[in-house]
């Protein structure tokens, strides 16, 4: 079987590492490195357990893109620490995590693992674009974010999600059949159907209000019945007897939200992605001396050892 292309939702992974490991993991100068070590350990597990031939750590160039905010001002609004003056808004991030992110990026570069981002777009969009473009290898998206379930597909190039919401030890591999079974959406269109269901359901963690009175099960049932959000809304506008009056009323009351939600919820398939480095997984670190220096400076010890072993294995 062809080795997969692993697309990592980097911020999702290092946030989870930060909260999973104690801040008592520090560098010699006392700087916490729990996120760095956890991220390196997760990388090692991905390389060992999934054996990707190619890997890209996908980054947020803009965690709250303006095109989404223009459509839906509530999008991630509760996470804004300060409004950017002429630039992107600043996300509320723990003080002791922020200094660790450059170390993670430096380690990736020294090891020789590629990163990618797109100006004005989120990591989700970078992943969506790279997954859409891929026409050679099966794609495995590694994330703790359910939003990326919308990318699963069987063809032309298979895309699955390695969901690590409960940690790598409890990682779940979700393809179309698994997403369909979990959410009650059609297996032949599980990814797009999930996106439509998510728009209807909403997601408070992203500032998406959803349609009042329509929860996850009802949303999935409606999308399955009508095939898409667009078809459901057309049937509601046409006063189809297949759409209950109460549901038609709820959809009409949420018309402004529903006009914006699809673009906000769906990941972009055509973001201007810039790839840094070669996405092929190297058999050895690109710059061993730099890796060793980083390991010593930041007290990364066993985590870097495990990562290097995973490369050579």
The alpha carbons of the chain give a radius of gyration, in whole angstroms, of 21
Phi, psi angles (nearest 5°) of residue 207: 75, 25
| pTM summary value | 0.94
Across the chain, mean pLDDT equals: 94
Sign, CA torsion 217/223/229/233: negative
Q: What is the pLDDT of residue 84?
A: 54
Residues 129-140: tens digit of each pLDDT: 999 999 999 999
pLDDT digits (tens, 9 = 90+) for 109-134: 999 999 999 999 999 999 999 999 99
The pLDDT of residue 80 is 78
Task: Return the H-helix or E-strand segment holding 300.
Answer: none
What pLDDT, on the 0 to 100 scale, is given for residue 310? 97
Percent of the chain with pLDDT over 90: 89
pLDDT for residue 92 is more than 80: no
State the pLDDT confidence band at 91, using cuts at 50, 70 and 90: low
- pLDDT at res. 9: 98
How does pLDDT run across 34-89, given as a tens digit for each residue? 999 999 999 999 999 999 999 999 999 998 999 999 999 999 988 775 555 555 66
Average pLDDT on 285-307 reads 97
* Residue 81, pLDDT score: 59
| Amino acid 83: pLDDT | 58
Give the ranges where the chain is alpha helix by DSSP (H): 10-20, 34-50, 66-71, 100-111, 123-133, 176-183, 190-201, 216-226, 229-237, 245-253, 255-265, 288-298, 301-312
Whether pLDDT at 164 is above 60: yes
Contact yes or no for 202/146 (Cβ under 8 A): no
What contacts 35, CB < 8 A, 6 or more positions away? Answer: 14, 15, 17, 18, 21, 97, 100, 101, 104
The helix or strand, by DSSP H or E, that contains position 120, with its residue range, turns out to be none
Least confident piece of the model among 35-39, 205-209, 295-299: 205-209
Q: What is the reported pLDDT for 25?
A: 96
Whether the per-residue pLDDT at 90 is higher than 80: the answer is no
160 to 117, 195, 232, 301: CA distances (angstroms): 21, 15, 27, 32
Residue 16 confidence (pLDDT) above 70:
yes
Q: CA 273, 279, 281 angle in degrees (round to 5)?
A: 160
- Name which of 149, 237, 253 is nearest 196 in CA terms: 149
């Amino acid at each position: 079987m062809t080795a997969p292309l692993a697309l990592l939702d980097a911020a999702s992974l290092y946030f989870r590492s930060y909260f999973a490991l104690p801040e008592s993991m520090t560098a010699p100068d006392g700087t916490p490195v729990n996120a760095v070590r956890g991220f390196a350990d997760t990388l090692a597990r991905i390389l060992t357990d999934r054996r990707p031939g190619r890997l890209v750590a996908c980054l947020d160039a803009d965690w709250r893109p303006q095109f989404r905010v223009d459509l839906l001002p509530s999008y991630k609004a509760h996470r804004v620490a300060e409004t950017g003056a002429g630039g992107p808004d600043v996300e509320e991030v723990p003080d002791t995590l922020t200094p660790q992110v450059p170390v993670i990026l430096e380690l990736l570069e020294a090891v020789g693992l590629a990163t990618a981002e797109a100006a004005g777009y989120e990591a989700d969009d970078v992943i969506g674009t790279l997954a859409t473009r891929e026409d050679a290898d099966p794609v495995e998206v590694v994330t703790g974010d359910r939003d990326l379930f919308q990318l699963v597909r069987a063809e032309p190039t298979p895309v699955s999600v390695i969901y690590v919401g409960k940690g790598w030890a409890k990682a779940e591999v979700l393809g179309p059949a698994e997403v369909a079974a979990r959410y009650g959406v059609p297996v032949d269109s599980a990814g797009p159907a999930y996106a439509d269901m998510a728009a209807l359901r909403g997601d408070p963690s992203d500032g998406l209000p959803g349609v009042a009175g329509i929860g996850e099960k009802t949303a999935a049932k409606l999308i399955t019945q009508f095939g898409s959000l667009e078809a459901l809304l057309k049937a509601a506008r046409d006063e189809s007897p297949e759409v209950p009056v109460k549901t038609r009323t709820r959809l009409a009351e949420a018309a402004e939200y529903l006009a914006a939600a699809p673009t906000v919820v769906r990941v972009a398939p055509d973001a201007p992605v810039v790839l840094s480095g070669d996405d092929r997984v190297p058999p050895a670190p690109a710059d061993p001396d730099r890796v060793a220096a980083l390991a010593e400076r930041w007290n990364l010890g066993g985590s870097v050892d495990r990562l290097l072993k995973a490369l050579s294995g």
